[in-house]
Amino acid sequence: MADLSSPVWTCPTCHTEIASSFCPGCGEKPLDPRDLTMPGLAEQVFNALSSIDSRLLRSLHDLVVRPGALTLAYVRGQRRPYLTPIPLFLICNVIFFAVQSLTDLKIFAPILDDQITTQPLSDLARAMMTDRLTGLGTGLDQYRPLFNQAEASNAKTLIGLMMLPFALVPPLLFWRLHRPMAVHVVFSLHFYAFLLLLFCVPLLLVAGAGLFGFPSRLDNDVDTALSWALLIACAAYFHTATGVVYGMRGIKQLGAALAMTVAGAFIFLGYRFVLFAITLYTT
């Protein structure tokens, strides 16, 4: 039924006469003369940015403070208050690498010397590197800077590879629930978005310490302590999130959290090795 209190106007998109405040076909509204003024343009830009910022800030807040809440909201169809999973993951990715650029630490992409000496598969990595350098006819000193630069670049573009194997973990743990695969993928995207923000904490600590003349790299004891702290934080995230999203309680909730933490740790180490191999054979 037409709104008799609204003047008739022609929709510029549908080219039909409308007697309501908005076009029912495309959502257009009558042109306000103020829209073509500089104050009107500034007002539109402010409204657009404030809407995006409010959704982003709300999403980041709930991602960190309310584990599982974003996944549950997505499953229930609450899309308006939050950013959808993939844009949120990409934004967290940008935040992480921006913070990482403040330090010499490369969390996802250890430098070549670390890859062949301190990683779990360093013996295999060293053998692969030796064969590769022989085939290229070059030495380690000449190859090192090329590898480190390429690996750092690959880490930015391939970081989503970790999410793919992890997305198989929830359906294995909760197969009795018969949840759609998309739920597990969204759960995984939200976890890795959280993980990227979590890794920003030690990076900021190192960057802050660098301002006071402390080393920009961590010694083994500090690195081990931080690694355990990050694992505990991930376990706490999973414990809460599995209760919210999958309804786990008690010993099942604790067991699921531990299983996901262990799986995440192995996938993280595996990603480092895969990144090493990809970089090694593409440089």
DSSP letter string, 163-228: HHHHTTHHHHHTGGG---HHHHHHHHHHHHHHHHHHHHHHHHHHHHHHHTT--SS--HHHHHHHHH
Runs of H (alpha helix) within the chain: 38-65, 69-76, 85-100, 112-115, 122-136, 140-158, 163-166, 169-173, 181-211, 220-246, 250-280
Hey, what are 257's tokens?
């959290």
Q: Supply the pLDDT for residue 32.
A: 76
Q: Residue 212: pLDDT band by 50, 70, 90 thresholds?
A: low
228 against 7, higher pLDDT: 228
Angstrom distance (rounded) from CA 247 to CA 252: 10
Q: Which pLDDT score is estimated for 1?
A: 43
Tokens of 5: 């209190």
- Residue, of 225 and 246, whose pLDDT is higher: 246
> Three-class SS of residue 116?
coil
The model carries a pTM of: 0.79
Using the 8-state DSSP alphabet, how is residue 31 labeled? Answer: P
> Which residue carries 């999958």 as its tokens?
246
CB-based contact 78:194 (threshold 8 Å): no
Task: Lowest mean pLDDT of 44-58, 118-132, 160-174, name the range.
Answer: 44-58
Lowest mean pLDDT among 19-33, 39-53, 91-105: 39-53
**Separation CA 93–CA 97 (nearest Å):** 6
Amino acid in position 269? L
Percentage, residues of the chain above pLDDT 70: 88
Rounded to 5 degrees, φ, ψ at 195 are -60, -40
